[in-house]
Amino acid sequence: MTALIVVLALLAALSNASASVFQRRAAAAEPADGDGARGALRLFARLLRRPYWLAGALLLLASTVLQAAALAEGSLSLVQPLLTAELLFTLAVGSVVFGHRPDRRTWLAFTALAAGLALFLGTAAPSGARTTASPGRWLLAGAVAAGVVAGLVLVARTVRGAPRAALLGLASAVSFACTAALLKEVMGRLSQGVGAVPAQWPPYATVAAGLVAFALLQGSLRAGTLAASQPALTLGDALTSVALGWALFQEHIVLGVRIVPELIGVTLIGLGSVGLARAPSVSGAWDAPRRPEEEADVR
């Protein structure tokens, strides 16, 4: 069963990464149409006719379904850290779609992130005990998470540039982790009957948390570079998910002497995400389509 959960989570990460690359490929091919609502609507109308964009939309849907399936059977503290593999898949798929090969520095960062993820999950051995949480646990965890997000946003308003991007990225990560926890709660309640779930609060809280996470992510990306926001996003989501899994679903990870390799794994994940965000082959025009003369060279 654990192998199936890992496969589902990795497929969700692959689907989400592919969706981002495909939709970026479609958007990059469209000319600028001015700012404002009208320009955005015209761009959206054109994107709806782009096969790459439509494929990306279908992959986003597939990613959500796969993540939900993984969370239905697996612990939050296992599934969410596995989703950090999205960074690796984005690099791999993007290299094919945009035709830009990663350089040595990028491959080193790639290896560090993959090794860190494997080391952390292998030594922590996350395991779960429950599929749903009590109202009291949700109230306490929700209040703490909301307070953390609000505090990060307030502090972010006092700074600019990289610090602001990092703070908003961390706030977004906490919100994404909460969204995943709520999604797991929804999946756990399906045993009560599919018709009973829409009458309960978790589905609507899941949507609300997801919208907050998305809005904070956009703010983080506008505030600074990917190198500033990505480590907070990557590590924040994974570590918050481990904490929420413990607080809500009575999940646990092995500590004791294993805490040393676990910390090494977390450090490698952080270094890898920073390296990927700063690597020359994934900055600048990495995600721009190849020019016609470049296509001719490939042929």
Note the pLDDT tens digit of each residue in 40-90: 677 677 777 788 888 888 998 899 899 999 998 889 988 988 988 887 888
Higher pLDDT, 161 or 189: 189
What is the three-class DSSP state of 251? coil
| Per-residue pLDDT at 287 | 58
Higher pLDDT, 76 or 287: 76
Note the pLDDT tens digit of each residue in 118-145: 898 889 888 876 889 999 999 999 999 9
**DSSP H helical ranges for the chain:** 2-28, 36-47, 51-73, 76-82, 86-98, 104-124, 135-156, 162-189, 202-223, 226-249, 259-278, 292-298
| Per-residue pLDDT at 226 | 63
Q: What average pLDDT does this structure show over 254-273?
A: 89
**Distance (Å, rounded) from C-alpha 266 to C-alpha 11?**
22
| Per-residue pLDDT at 295 | 44
Q: What average pLDDT does this structure show over 16-24?
A: 82
| Per-residue pLDDT at 100 | 72
Of 81, 237, 77, 85, which Cα lies nearest the Cα of 170? 237
Supply 225's token pair.
């570079």
Residues with Cβ within 8 Å of residue 60, at least 6 apart in sequence: 15, 16, 19
CB contact at 8 A, 12 and 63: yes
Q: What average pLDDT does this structure show over 174-197?
A: 93
What is the three-class DSSP state of 134? coil
pLDDT > 90: percent of the chain: 37
| Per-residue pLDDT at 171 | 95
Q: Which helix (H) or strand (E) holds 30?
A: none
| Per-residue pLDDT at 14 | 93
* 294 confidence band (pLDDT: 50, 70, 90): very low
CB contact at 8 A, 44 and 30: no
Of 89, 116, 72, 115, which Cα lies nearest the Cα of 267? 116
Q: What average pLDDT does this structure show over 101-130?
A: 84
Residues with Cβ within 8 Å of residue 3, at least 6 apart in sequence: none
- Mean of all residue pLDDT scores within the chain: 84
Note the pLDDT tens digit of each residue in 223-243: 876 667 777 888 888 889 999
